[in-house]
Structure 1
Amino acid sequence: MAQLKRTLSLGAVTLFGIAYMTPIIVLGTFGILADATGGAVPSAYVAASIAMLFTALSYAKMAKAFPVAGSAYTYVRKSISPKLGFLAGWGVLLDYLFLPMAIWLIGAAYLHSAFPNVPQPVWVLTFIVITTLINIIGLQVAKTVNGLLMLLQFLVLAAFVGLAAHYATGELNQPLFSLAPFYQDSFQLPLVMSGAAIACYSFLGFDAVSTLTEETHEPRKTIPRAILLITLLGGALFIVASYFVQLAHPSTEFASADSAASEIAKTIGGDIFVSLFLIGLIVGQFTSGLSAQASASRLLFAMGRDGVLPKRVFGRLSERFGTPVSSIILCGIVALLALRMDVTTSTSFINFGAFLAFSLVNLSVIFHYWIAQRERGAKALMAYVLFPLMGLIADLWLMASLDHLAIYLGLGWLAIGLVYLFFMTGGLRRQPPEMHFDEA
């Protein structure tokens, strides 16, 4: 049987995870978070980082127990039950299926701010058509090109932070280090938690490194460490970047919250820097959307191939292109919802699926280690009960802090999943088919 070569080190896996998270998104959603938190974006990222760290600890423990692809779906299925595993996978599917929509919507908002004469729906449709065609044809961007595009993102982000710090200390005469971006007289914890619920969007994909298990040296050690490092480094990056941007723009007033970073870029760097920033953001959003749509279509294909979704529709590859055309087109059709949604609702809606999966993974630690493996002692109580419970509580709190419309949409998605599970299992009498995440 053919096997992938184990060539990836901890550093390489960690870099993959950071890149997957698209770091420049901290600028893309800054205005939305500033509006939601009342000007305390760094505090929202601190809260989100703490919550994600507890969840990352649970992911790391489960990755050590089950060093295979499948992430939340596999962990919950094997440790609790196949039916709950399906619901975890259903929550992950929400992320995968609707993530391209949010990515393209953010990109379209910034392009519309730069070219206001072009309606935003035109940019949304342009993103959808181009990326769908590329994914159908099956063109893959070379690793070197991906690396260069990622380098461009980091350079733009570093320049943005540097100019923000220079503007804050020079033009605004602000001290370089201050508590003001974290806490002001108008500080309200419910607002910060509402912002944290949105900020978790920036962390989506920290668990994606589990797909590299078969290519990693000592995966039982490396993958759990990488998951924690990605969460810590990503959280630090988001907190530092948002701190300096908030320092340079303490107000929550924007012409458009969806494209606020463009306004700030012009203030701190002038027209030329606005153009550079826009190029960096759009390149990041385009490549991220391309990858997200490809990943979503592959998941739909895997579900169709294994009988979790209708095989005739989703379980086939194009004879001409060798790609899951039906799944790719469905992702493009779903993304048309961006024509009727704003960025806040779309990102919050996606986070609902993430929080559902995260909550079940935290529970799976308790079921696997404390109940099934019967790990005992003070250390085990903390690692396998208290920490997962803290992660579970944090995830449920963040879920409850989401935009109300997003909660209703998320509950609707969950209800559809429950109905589908009921019929697929003959009234819950049978176990759902098991998904396999090997290369198709």
Structure 2
Amino acid sequence: MKNIFRTKPIESLLEEASGKESLQKVLGSFELTMLGIGAIIGTGIFVLTGLAAANYFGPALVISFILAGLACGFAALCYAEIAAMVPVAGSAYTYGYAALGEFWAWIIGWDLILEYAFAVGTVAIGWSGYFNNILMDLGINLPKAITKAPFEGGVVNLPAVLILLVITAILIVGVKESATANNVIVGIKLAVIILFIILGVGHVNPANWHPFMPYGWKGVFSGASIIFFAYIGFDAVSTAAEEVKNPQKDLPRGIIASLIICTVLYIVVSAILTGMVPYLKFKETAAPVAFALQQVGITWGSALVAVGAICGLTSVLLVMMFGQTRVLFAMSRDGLLPKVFGHVDSKFHTPLRSTLLVGIVTMIIAGFTPIAVVSELTNIGTLAAFVIVSASVIVLRKREPDRPRTFKVPFSPVTPILSMAACIFLIINLQGVTLIRFAVWLVFGLVLYFVYGYKNSAINEE
């Protein structure tokens, strides 16, 4: 069983990325940055800010965003180095395969499947919340049976299912078309966020920031672990590595630029949001930004923000589902999952079968699962992926010190170690039930690996 730690040479990975079942190289640094912003800005501002402020940290939401941003900053540097060096689909799964071996690659690939599936589910549920708000403003009230999951008193969250159907169709058509659609809706989203800042800053009441830390430091740390969900977009950027025209330069730029832009926006918006409305009121809504404007009487602004949020969350869905399909595609191409999902369609030049599977699974999650459950499961998968990527940087620096690196993590191995420590700290501060669910998912994945993946791995043929 020692062969479970066999690594896949970087040369083999690069050869696959230019072979028969490779993906089209059509993306540049601008598209990558927009993909990152498209994935990062959305759920954190438009959905989770209210949920987290009300239940975990109150106005100290700002501190939690800073803590989560620091952890992501360390991880982003690690991603930038290794993504530029190994520009192949699969993100942390592929990097783990090259550095740590097949067993760890499987674990992190299985984690990424969990991460993206539940990320898409969370965002689709939030999208449904804003969509229903818009309809209510127009005097249309959909029955609870088709807007809530069974655990919330409904039958199915139909709007969440339908938007995922549309996203699946867009991704099947092609990556260039998907990137163009993302650029447009990200532009709308950024305009709406700037509008909210302009409208909201004049209605900030400093009294709403007291008590600033009602749940203490424990609440801040727990909140950081949950709000961490808002930062996972640059991981989705790295899944597009195989489709980048000049990955050595464009990937580091896209990853780091998108993280910096989004961190600044998160801090500003969260401060204004909790200053406009007492944090406990956010328990009443799944659409906190529009709700805050409603509370101060700016109803037209609320409607506009709701439309912008719909666009923003749509871009998050697009990029997250894109990332999910590429991880599944990479694992299937390597034989660890059925190879039928590692096929590139000759007409659309996209992994059509992987996209269809991801679309069906995420529709089920979004339609029948409560938002609090799916968001926390996403976070733990992401944090585990960041740990693996950071460790991979250290191992590859030691094993292949002479391999060309167009971007290097500063102060290595200190920075990768800080990245791992920060992510492990955030994992520890997640809810106990989340850790249990994650453990169950891992056990199921290990059974699948030893029953199927190990025997069918493409390395056996090589």
Same fold (TM over 0.5): yes
Matched to 1:29, the amino acid is L
After TM superposition, the score normalised by the length of structure 1 is 0.82
String of CA shifts for 1:42-87, please: whole Å, max 9, x gaps.
1110010011111112212222432433321121111111221121
When structure 1 is superposed on structure 2, of 266-275 and 357-366 the one drifting more is 266-275
Contact 1:24 1:154 in 2 (8 A): no
String of CA shifts for 1:108-137, please: whole Å, max 9, x gaps.
233445536532237832331353266358
The partner residue of 1:152 within 169, 180, 188 is 188
- Residue 159 of structure 2 aligns to a residue whose secondary structure is helix
1:433 aligns with 2:461: no
Mapping of residues 67-146 of structure 1, within 5 Å? 67-113=87-133, 115=136, 117-119=142-144, 120-121=147-148, 124-132=157-165, 135-136=168-169, 138-139=172-173, 145-146=181-182
- Residue 258 of structure 1 aligns to a residue whose secondary structure is coil
Contact 1:425 1:432 in 2 (8 A): yes
1:390 aligns with 2:426: no
What displacement does 1:148 show?
2.9
1:26 aligns with 2:26: no
Contact 2:38 2:182 in 1 (8 A): no
Per the alignment, residue 436 of structure 2 pairs with: 408
Contact 1:100 1:292 in 2 (8 A): yes
Q: 1:365 to 1:143 in 2, by over 3 A?
A: closer
Contact 1:40 1:187 in 2 (8 A): no
Q: 1:61 to 1:182 in 2, by over 3 A?
A: farther
Distance 1:391 1:146 in 2: 29
Distance 2:26 2:187 in 1: 25
Distance 2:326 2:262 in 1: 26
Distance 1:94 1:270 in 2: 39
Per the alignment, residue 270 of structure 1 pairs with: 298
The partner residue of 1:215 within 244, 261, 273 is 244
State the number of aligned residues: 417
String of CA shifts for 1:220-272, please: whole Å, max 9, x gaps.
34422432232222212211111121222243223524333332021245222
Distance 1:189 1:265 in 2: 29
Structure 2, gaps ≥5 residues long: 1-17, 149-154
Per the alignment, residue 71 of structure 2 pairs with: 51
Per the alignment, residue 438 of structure 1 pairs with: none
Distance 1:298 1:70 in 2: 6
Distance 1:318 1:12 in 2: 23
- Residue 70 of structure 1 aligns to a residue whose secondary structure is coil
Contact 1:296 1:331 in 2 (8 A): no
Matched to 1:391, the amino acid is S
Distance 1:193 1:418 in 2: 30
String of CA shifts for 1:307-360, please: whole Å, max 9, x gaps.
322345x45688998873575255334432344533222111111111111111
When structure 1 is superposed on structure 2, of 138-147 and 274-283 the one drifting more is 138-147
Distance 1:7 1:39 in 2: 39
Q: 1:205 to 1:300 in 2, by over 3 A?
A: same
Contact 2:112 2:324 in 1 (8 A): no
Q: 1:290 to 1:343 in 2, by over 3 A?
A: same
1:252 aligns with 2:280: yes
- Residue 184 of structure 1 aligns to a residue whose secondary structure is coil
- Residue 207 of structure 1 aligns to a residue whose secondary structure is helix
Distance 1:159 1:269 in 2: 15
Matched to 1:89, the amino acid is G
Contact 1:86 1:432 in 2 (8 A): no
Aligned Cα RMSD in Å?
A: 3.5
Q: 1:309 to 1:20 in 2, by over 3 A?
A: same
- Residue 88 of structure 2 aligns to a residue whose secondary structure is coil
Per the alignment, residue 202 of structure 2 pairs with: 166
When structure 1 is superposed on structure 2, of 102-111 and 357-366 the one drifting more is 102-111
Per the alignment, residue 205 of structure 1 pairs with: 233
Per the alignment, residue 65 of structure 1 pairs with: 85
Q: 1:320 to 1:370 in 2, by over 3 A?
A: closer
Matched to 2:79, the amino acid is Y
1:13 aligns with 2:32: yes
Q: Percentage identity across aligned positions?
A: 25
Distance 1:349 1:234 in 2: 22
Matched to 1:384, the amino acid is S
Q: 1:417 to 1:145 in 2, by over 3 A?
A: closer
What displacement does 1:433 show?
3.5
Q: 1:335 to 1:194 in 2, by over 3 A?
A: farther
When structure 1 is superposed on structure 2, of 120-129 and 53-62 the one drifting more is 120-129
Contact 2:42 2:316 in 1 (8 A): no
What displacement does 1:295 show?
4.5
Matched to 1:48, the amino acid is A
- Residue 167 of structure 1 aligns to a residue whose secondary structure is coil
When structure 1 is superposed on structure 2, of 237-246 and 118-127 the one drifting more is 118-127
Mapping of residues 282-297 of structure 1, within 5 Å? 282-297=310-325
Contact 2:36 2:258 in 1 (8 A): yes
Matched to 1:78, the amino acid is A
Structure 1, gaps ≥5 residues long: 436-440
Q: 1:100 to 1:434 in 2, by over 3 A?
A: farther
What displacement does 1:30 show?
1.2
What displacement does 1:147 show?
3.0
String of CA shifts for 1:5-30, please: whole Å, max 9, x gaps.
68734x55333322332346413221
